[in-house]
Amino acid sequence: MLDLIIRNGKVVDGTGLPAYTGDIGINNGKIVITGSVKESAKEEIDASGLVVSPGFIDPHTHFDAQLLWDGRAKPAIEHGITTIVPGNCSLSLAPLKSDDRMKLVGMFNQIEEMPIKAFKEGVQWDWETFDEFISRIKKSLTINVAPLVGHSVLRLWVMGDQSAMREANEKEIQDMQTLLRECLSSGAIGLSTSFVDVDETLAPVPSRYADQRELNALCEVLSESNKMLQVVHEFFDADVTIARVDQLADISLRHKIPTTLSPLFVNTENDPGVKRVMERVKEQFKRGARVWPQVQTRPIDISFCFEVPSLLFIRLPSWYKIMRFGSHSEIMEEFKDENRRAKLVKEAAMLGPFWSSITLRQVNSEENKEFLGMSLDEIATKRETTPVDAMIDLSLEENLQAHFLAENMGHTDNEMIGALMSDPHVHIGASDGGAHILSFSTYGDTGYLFSQFVRNSHAITLEDAVKKITLDTASIWGMKERGCLKKGFLADITIFEEDRIDRGHEYYTDDVPGDGHRYIRDAIGIDTVIIGGSIAYRKGAYTNAKTGNIVSVG
């Protein structure tokens, strides 16, 4: 008798081949039969009218801390995700000496907008090495985890405070090589680095002080087991991105490793730049290099209030400085002072009509509730002022508790994105799940892929869309026995409604230690998610399954 049988589903097996109606038999956490299953099982699922696919894989997340109190990595599983890759952007929670903990927390707070209170109240610091961290998170995993190790953290371990001051010497580079080798043997699937991020003091993160000599030395270690190099590049500049593509291509060819750069943003203003980047990517693939640009499927929504720093204002130095370093009273004074406020308004003008489309999301006072859901342009018209002044006035009136929403940031050209979705050189990723929890709506990539680009625009077929986020991702990263509904493969399976699957609606949850809430999207059309042969999520509810594991690659 089998453990589980899925019957009568529309099986999209991850290979890109046409779907077929059939069954999947599961035993001991693996797929043992596909096609027609005559045996019986302890449990059966009737998938009539539903798509049965491999579990989706998310290659760019920041669930590192959340996994310490939530082995499900909510809301990933709700969106059909069965495997996540944390440790991106040069940041991981190990290896980490006890004296450096708050330094790393500061970087996570600045770069990924993760609340310091969540670390203080939700994290029990009982590890230092990567192996100890892996043992810690394995205790209660529902989701599968394929962790990267962060370059900035390697430097911090070896060089201490000097890691964010200078290049490494030969001895330090050798020590980093040894440390990286230990992390890889303990379960890390590769190395992440960053060329753009800043720390809690707005200084470059440690990885940005590394020279090419150091990066090559670390990639020599990656080459020993064909592990991935993940890079955050200067995505706001096409010329610099092209230079990074060339750099990664040379690294890939020299060390015979896969590389991925994230994210490749697309909107109507940068179409020409994106096309140039993709032309160079294809040229480098022809040379034999493996350089995978990661593209988000969905637009970005950013919710903000002025009591919490938001990366939305990173291009406005005066605004970001007071939000980042100012106290509540100092921010209020900045807005009240006529001269300082005039400076802010003038600086905000560089973003032009952007402010007009921002909407008022939440207020506490009764007198301002009439403006909820209205744009700043509409509110400004009613108040006979400007959109920026209306935003400042509302923030003062609400004691900085007025919440605003900037919708559809980043991706505004769905035709261009649709073309990228079907491009064999593009890697779907960069969800940032687990990060920006107080501002960004960072989930819904998988649902948006199927609703917008399969169902609505027909830019990509159902079979190819599934392949993109299952077998293609598993193959790019070297994940063994995943991404395909094939005999002998691990039983990570997502069952969904083809005509309904979508990214869902934004809402606040109260499940974050310390700050208590976060801004996420629910999912539409995900029926069942199976991880390691056990049902982890079914009909809108989680089970008690703890069959997630650390993913092996190679």
| Sites in the chain below the pLDDT cut of 70 | 267-269, 408-414, 430, 434-444, 506-521, 554
Structural domain includes residue 243: no
Structural domain includes residue 23: no
Would you state the pLDDT for residue 363?
92
CB distance 134 to 128 below 8 Å: no
Structural domain includes residue 319: yes
Structural domain includes residue 400: yes
Domain that residue 325 falls in: 302-408
Tokens of 315: 């291009």
Tokens of 524: 């539409």
**Based on the number of CB atoms within 10 Å of its own CB, is 159 exposed (0-12), middle (13-18) or buried (19 or more)?**
buried
For residue 411, what is the enclosing H or E element?
A: none
Q: How far apart are the first and last CA of the chain?
A: 33
- Please state the domain count of the chain: 1
Q: Which residue has the tokens 């993709």?
A: 278
Q: Rounded to whole angstroms, what are the CA distances from 50 to 259, 454, 498?
A: 35, 16, 7
**Based on the number of CB atoms within 10 Å of its own CB, is 539 exposed (0-12), middle (13-18) or buried (19 or more)?**
exposed
Would you state the pLDDT for residue 235?
81
With b meaning 16 or more CB within 10 Å and e meaning fewer, what string describes 475-514?
Answer: ebbbbebbbbbbeebbbbbbbbebeebbbbebeeeeebbe
Structural domain includes residue 20: no
3-state secondary structure of 198: strand
Structural domain includes residue 489: no
Comparing CA positions, the residue from 422, 441, 453 lying closest to residue 523 is 441
Structural domain includes residue 395: yes
Q: What would the 3-class secondary structure string for 144-191 be?
A: EECCCEEHHHHHHHHHHHHHHCCCCCHHHHHHHHHHHHHHHHCCCCEE
106: left (phi over 0), alpha (psi -120 to 50) or beta: alpha
Comparing CA positions, the residue from 306, 550, 309, 262 lying closest to residue 431 is 262
Give the whole-angstrom CA distance, residue 12 versus residue 533.
18
Would you state the pLDDT for residue 435?
59
Structural domain includes residue 97: no
Would you state the pLDDT for residue 129?
97
